[in-house]
Amino acid sequence: MKNLKPYFETGSFQNLLSGLNPIKTVIQYLSLVLIFLVILSGCVSKNNEIATIEVRNTASVDIPDAIIRIADTGILDKINSTSGTSINVRSDTIHPMQLIREKDTIIELLFLCELKANEGKFFTISKTDQQVNFKRRTQAEISIKKGGEWQGRLYQGGLFENIEFLRVPDEHTDHSSYIRYEGPGWESDLVGYRFYLDWRNAIDIFGKKVDTMVLQNVGQDEFDSYHEMSDWGVDILNVGESLGMGSIGYWHENKAERVAVTDSIFCEISYSGILESKIKTTYFGWQISDYRTDLISRLSIQAGSRLTMHQLEISSEMDNLCTGIVKHPDAELIQPESPTGEWIWFASWGRQTLQDDLSGMAVIYRQDDLIKLAEDELNHVVVLNPSDNTLTYYFLAAWELEPGGIRSKEEFVAYLNEQAEILNHEPIVK
C-alpha cells in the first residue's frame, strides 16, 4: 500500500491548507481520508481474493440456472488452505455456492448463475467473514427403519431414520416395509425421483406442485399414501415390470432385462447439497444369463433442472446396456427431426400418469454410444455401447401440474431441444 504519511506532514501541504477557508479545508481533509480508505479497502479485498474466472455460455439459448464447476487444483489448494474461513463467489452479487468434499478435502466448488445466450461473465472467488445461507434446491436421502425386527421378509416395528450408507439386507425385497418409499430418493426444485432398492431396480417419478424440498415428508406414515394427491404432489408413474424412467437394463434376446439378480447391493448418499445431490449404488455380481459383472451407478441432479445424470461403470467388458421409457397406450413416442451434436434425445408425451395427466419422459444419450433404438412389450428402449467400461446418459420427466409446468407436446419438444443444445455447448470456464 502506498505510504500517505509524507503528504500529510509536509510543510507545503500545511501551508496550502492554511490559505483556504475552513470549509474548504474540511472538504480537502475528508477527500484525502476517503481516498485513503478506498486504497486500504482495495488492498484488503485483494488479499482476500482467491481467483477471478471467466465463464462463457457458448449455447444459443439462455441458461437461467447454470451450475459452474471449479475443479482447478490451484484454486482448490488455495481454498483448502483457508481452513475455518468462509468462501463466496461474486459478480455483481453473491452467488449460491456448494463445496464438494472427499473426506476432509474440497475436491470441487459449484456455484449457480444465470447466463444469457453467448454471454460471458467474470466471477471472483474470495475469502469472507460473512456466511450467506441460500435456499436448498436439491436433496438426496435414504431412510430405513430402526428399532424393529425382521419377521421373514417383513420388517415389523421401528421408526424411520435417514442414513448415509446401506448394505441391503438379504431379507429385503419389495414391500418389506424396511426402506421408506422403498428406496433412495433425489429431487430438485422441479421434480423428484426414487428407485426401488430391491430386485426391481426401476426408477419412479414424484410429480411436484411446489418448488421446495418434499422427500423428507414422503412415506412417513409407513403406507404408500404418496400415490394419492397431496399438497406437495404425487407419485405419477406406473412402473410395473418395465424400465420405468431411465432405469438400467441389458438388451437380451429382444427384451430389456433389469438389474434383478445380484450377490449384494450397497447404496450411499454421496452428498446432498443445495445445488447438486448424488447417490452411488454398487451392484456386486449382477447376473445376466450366464454372465456376471459388478456395476456402479451414480445418479445426480442439479438445481433448476429436471435432468438426472446417470453415470455407469462396469467391471468387465460388455455391450448392449440399455435404458428406456415405459410404454403407455395414450402416449406418443417422439424424436428430434434433424438431430445434430453429440447429445440427442428420444421421448414420449401424452396422458401417461396414474392420474391421467399430461406428462413427458425423455432419455438424452450420446450419438456415438448408440447401438440401436428398439422396443419390447413394455418399453421404448435405447441400446447403448459403453466406452472403456463406462457409460453416461440423462433422463428427465415433466408434469403439467408443476408450477409453470410444460403443458403441450410442442413445449416439451422445445424444452428438450434446449437441453440438448446446452449439453452440446457446455459453458467454458477460464
Tell me how far apart the alpha carbons of residues 275 and 97 are, in angstroms, rounded to a whole number. Answer: 7
In the 3-class helix/strand/coil scheme, how is 116-145 assigned residue by residue?
Answer: CCCCEEEEEEEEECCCCCCCCCEEEEEEEE
Is residue 322 within 8 Å of residue 252, measured between CB atoms? no
> To 5 degrees, how large is the angle CA 149–CA 152–CA 155?
35
Closest to 115 measured CA to CA, from 70, 59, 72: 59
Tell me how far apart the alpha carbons of residues 369 and 391 are, in angstroms, rounded to a whole number. Answer: 8
Full pLDDT tens readout for the chain, 430 residues: 444 444 444 444 444 444 445 555 555 656 555 554 444 444 444 578 999 999 999 999 999 999 999 999 999 999 998 766 788 999 989 999 999 999 889 999 999 999 999 999 999 999 988 888 999 999 999 999 999 999 999 999 999 999 999 999 999 999 999 999 999 999 999 999 999 999 999 999 999 999 999 999 999 987 788 999 999 999 999 999 999 999 999 999 999 999 999 999 999 999 999 999 999 999 999 999 888 999 999 999 999 999 999 999 999 998 899 999 999 999 999 999 888 899 999 999 999 999 999 999 999 999 999 999 999 999 999 999 999 999 999 999 999 999 999 999 999 999 999 999 999 999 999 9
- For residue 138, the number of C-alpha atoms closer than 13 Å in the C-beta half-sphere is 28
| Res 110: pLDDT | 97
Closest to 5 measured CA to CA, from 23, 32, 26, 28: 32
Looking up cell 453416461 gives 392
Is residue 294 within 8 Å of residue 222, measured between CB atoms? no
| Res 360: pLDDT | 98
| Res 44: pLDDT | 41
Strands 358-366, 343-351: pairing is antiparallel
Q: In what order do the strands lie in the sheet with 256-258?
A: 256-258, 249-251, 321-326, 379-384, 370-375
Tell me how far apart the alpha carbons of residues 41 and 39 are, in angstroms, rounded to a whole number. Answer: 5
344-391 pLDDT tens trace? 999 999 999 999 999 999 999 999 999 999 999 999 999 999 999 999
In the 3-class helix/strand/coil scheme, how is the chain assigned residue by residue?
Answer: CCCCHHHHHCHHHHHHHHCCCHHHHHHHHHHHHHHHHHHHHHHHHHHHEEEEEEEECCCCCCEEEEEEEECCHHHHHHHHCCCCCEEEEECCCEECEEEEEECCEEEEEEEEEEECCCCEEEEEEEEECCCCCCCCCEEEEEEEEECCEEECCEEECCEEEEECEEECCCCCCCCCCCEHHHCCEEEECCEEEEECCCCCCCEEEEEECCCCCCHHHCCCCCCCHHHCCCCCEEECCCCCCCCEECCCEEECCCCEEECCCCCEEEEEEEEECCCEEEEEEEEEEEEECCEEEEEEEEEEEECCCCCEEEEEEECCCCCCEEEEEECCCCEEEECCCCCCCCEEEEEEEEECCCCCCEEEEEEEEEHHHEEEEEECCCEEEEEECCECCEEEEEEEEEECCCCCCCCCHHHHHHHHHHHHHHHHCCCEEC
Tell me how far apart the alpha carbons of residues 369 and 328 are, in angstroms, rounded to a whole number. Answer: 26
Q: Quote the cell numbers at residue 230.
A: 397431496
Is residue 344 within 8 Å of residue 332, measured between CB atoms? no
110-161 pLDDT tens trace? 999 999 999 999 999 999 888 889 999 999 999 999 999 999 999 999 999 9
| Res 32: pLDDT | 57
Closest to 219 measured CA to CA, from 299, 140, 137, 142: 142
Tell me how far apart the alpha carbons of residues 214 and 204 are, in angstroms, rounded to a whole number. Answer: 15
Tell me how far apart the alpha carbons of residues 143 and 184 are, in angstroms, rounded to a whole number. Answer: 7
CB atoms within 10 A of CB 277: 26
260-278 pLDDT tens trace? 999 999 999 999 999 999 9
145: left (phi over 0), alpha (psi -120 to 50) or beta: beta
Is residue 308 within 8 Å of residue 193, measured between CB atoms? yes
User: What does the chain come to in residues?
Assistant: 430
The alpha carbon of residue 139 and the mean position of all alpha carbons in its chain are separated, in whole angstroms, by 9
Calculated CA dihedral for residues 405, 407, 409, 411, nearest 10 degrees: -50
| Res 200: pLDDT | 96
| Res 5: pLDDT | 46
| Res 22: pLDDT | 57
| Res 35: pLDDT | 52
Q: Quote the cell numbers at residue 107.
A: 475436491
| Res 362: pLDDT | 98
For residue 351, the cross-strand partners are 358
| Res 54: pLDDT | 96
